[in-house]
Amino acid sequence: MATAEFIEQPALEVDDADFSSSEYSSTLESSTHSITSSIVYYVYENGRRYHRFQEGKYMLPNDEREQDRLDLYHHLQLLSLKGSLYVAPIGEKPQHILDCGTGTGIWALDMGELFPSAEVVGVDLSPIQPDWVVPNVRFEVDDLELDWTFRKDYFDLIHSRNIAQSVRDWPKYLEQIFLFVLAETAVHSDDGTLACTSIETYFACFIKSLSGANLIHQFKQPWGGWPKNPDMKRAGYIAALTSATGLQSYAMAPLTRYLGMSSDEVVKLCNSAQTEIETKKVHSYQIMWHVVGRKPETKTEKE
């Protein structure tokens, strides 16, 4: 079983800049964590670097190799969305934007440049974002599964991408985004009594209607350059580049910690899978979902 080693990094100086002119700063409460020396201690395990703040909640590394992969993944998403950063109907001038699990901060920085009059806030467990950013973008270290301290109804857009592996309590997470809990839009039966019923037809029609209402957008993401379509082929090649390091990023911590595999066994498995991806003989793909949600309008908003 792998052991973790704590290595203390040099303390960072605290930015004493006055943000009192920002409306956002007044919404913060004492529970919001700033970037301090106690947060930037890192954990090194199996040759990879992980975050120490709320250790273990996010099992992917945060070292330079992973940061390069995250930026490449951002490019892959731009290809899927044909250059767009979002699919939500947010209007021409959103003023307050929150990026949940901002990672390297690349999406938040792009949004800050796209909407220079907006205030963009990126939140993540790891302080790996750049020090020099555009004036309207800021980053904070915090755990999104704790109670949020943002002011209610403050953000025009809340963006959450590729953090399924770090959220344990999805109902609470979604409740804090939408102010209500979303139930699964599906029904199941273990004894076959659901088949050919009106209930089954109802949910099938309902889910199909959501797609027609442009609330759910799905894109095929090929693994490898096997598709004939040029755009899909290019996306597949980029996905293969991300998986070259991504397979180990995702698998190393959980497989060594919870399955008892050695780091060498994990590396061998990942290398074998990567070889299959690069041969183009396995025509696999994932479905990338972009789900758009909106809070119910209040009576005042409708008027």
In a domain, 163, yes or no: yes
Percent of the chain at pLDDT > 90 equals 19
Rounded CA-CA distance 252/49 in Å is 11
223 assigned to some structural domain: yes
Q: Retrieve residue 209's tokens.
A: 């209607």
303 in any annotated domain: no
| Mean pLDDT (whole number) for 214-237 | 82
pLDDT over 50 at 12, yes or no: no
Spatial CB neighbours of 260, under 8 Å, sequence gap ≥ 6: 1
Asked if residue 30 is part of any domain, the answer here is yes
In the predicted model, is pLDDT for residue 92 greater than 70? yes
pLDDT of residue 35: 45
Task: Check which CATH number belongs to the domain holding 48 and give it.
Answer: 3.40.50
pLDDT number for residue 5 = 44
Average pLDDT of the chain?
Answer: 76
Q: Looking at this protein, which amino acid is placed at residue 291?
A: V
β 216-222/285-291 pair status = antiparallel
Range of the domain at 243: 5-183+214-293
Mean pLDDT of 25-51: 61
Dihedral angle of Cα 238, 126, 86, 220, to the nearest 10 degrees = 40
Task: State the pTM of this model.
Answer: 0.68
Q: How confident is the model over 28-38, as a mean pLDDT?
A: 42
Q: Is residue 263 assigned to a domain?
A: yes
Residue 79 belongs to some domain of the structure: yes
pLDDT of residue 276: 87
**Spatial contact of 292 and 217, defined as CB atoms under 8 Å apart:** yes
82-91's contacts with Cβ under 8 Å and 24+ in sequence apart are 85/110, 85/111, 85/114, 86/111, 86/157, 86/159, 87/214, 87/217, 87/290, 87/292, 88/157, 88/292, 89/292, 90/156, 90/157, 91/156
Distance of alpha carbon 120 from alpha carbon 32, whole angstroms: 17
Residue pLDDT, tens place only, 143-187: 888 888 888 778 888 898 888 777 888 788 877 776 432 234 556
Residues 96-148: tens digit of each pLDDT:
999 999 999 999 999 999 999 999 999 998 888 988 878 999 999 888 888 88
The CA angle 162-164-165, to the nearest 5 degrees, is 105
Stronger pLDDT, 200 or 273, i.e. the higher one? 273
* Helix or strand run (H / E) with residue 45: strand 42-45
Tokens linked to 60: 């992917």
How many structural domains is the chain composed of?
1
> Is 202 contained in some domain?
no
Cβ atoms of 181 and 171 within 8 Å: the answer is yes
- Taking only the tens place, the pLDDT of each residue in 187-225 is 666 778 778 777 677 667 656 654 554 557 677 888 888
Render pLDDT for 65-76 as a digit per residue (tens, 0 to 9).
999 999 999 999
In a domain, 244, yes or no: yes
